[in-house]
Amino acid sequence: MPTEEGIVKEIKRKKAMVLVTKTSACDHCGSRGSCHIMSDREMVVEVANDLDAKVGDLVRLQVPSGSLLKLSLLVYFLPVVLLIIGAYVGGAWAESLDLQPTLASIIGAGLAMGVAFYVLRWFDRGEQAKGDYRPRMTRILFSESSSPQPGDSK
């Protein structure tokens, strides 16, 4: 499971906005939709605050590996397969449509890509509601509220 550490910057209802230093793994992450990039190196990730973290806490975030694999296959494999199928079907229907085979293949491939992106968009909307592919807060590594305050006799 890919893990990152970040500092809770804000609490909104049952969500925590966590400031994370961006790594190279972020470039290929399927959960980029829940991240808000602030600069080249830092971004804010919105996660469910199931651990009742407070502002200033250092937390660990994880994205399930299975989720990343499923998303990668869906996002990269589906459009390519539909592109090839669309080109083949377009070429096969060229004669009945009274078009040149190359033009029919291009039209078929374009229509298939449109279908692929529509399916991915529909899938994304459904998965955002479920939240299965979002990063999760798994542990509070350091809590400012539990550290000794100046003047404490502990």
Instruction: Produce one character per residue of 28-44: b if its CB has 16 or more CB atoms within 10 Å, e if not.
Output: ebbbeebbeeeeeeebb
Specify the pTM: 0.55
Chain centre distance of CA 143: 27
State phi, psi for 115 to the nearest 5 degrees.
-65, -45
pLDDT of residue 99: 92
The model's pLDDT over 71-109, given as tens digits with 9 standing for 90+, comes to 888 889 999 999 999 999 999 999 898 999 999 999 999
Is CATH 2.40.50 correct for 3-63+134-146? yes
Whether 28 has a pLDDT exceeding 60, the answer reads no
Q: Where are the domains of the chain?
A: 3-63+134-146, 67-129
Beta strand extents in the chain (DSSP E only): 3-12, 15-21, 35-37, 42-48, 58-62, 136-142
Distance in angstroms (rounded) separating the CA atoms of residues 8 and 105: 51
pLDDT band at 146 (very low <50, low <70, confident <90, very high): low
Residue 123: the pLDDT is: 84
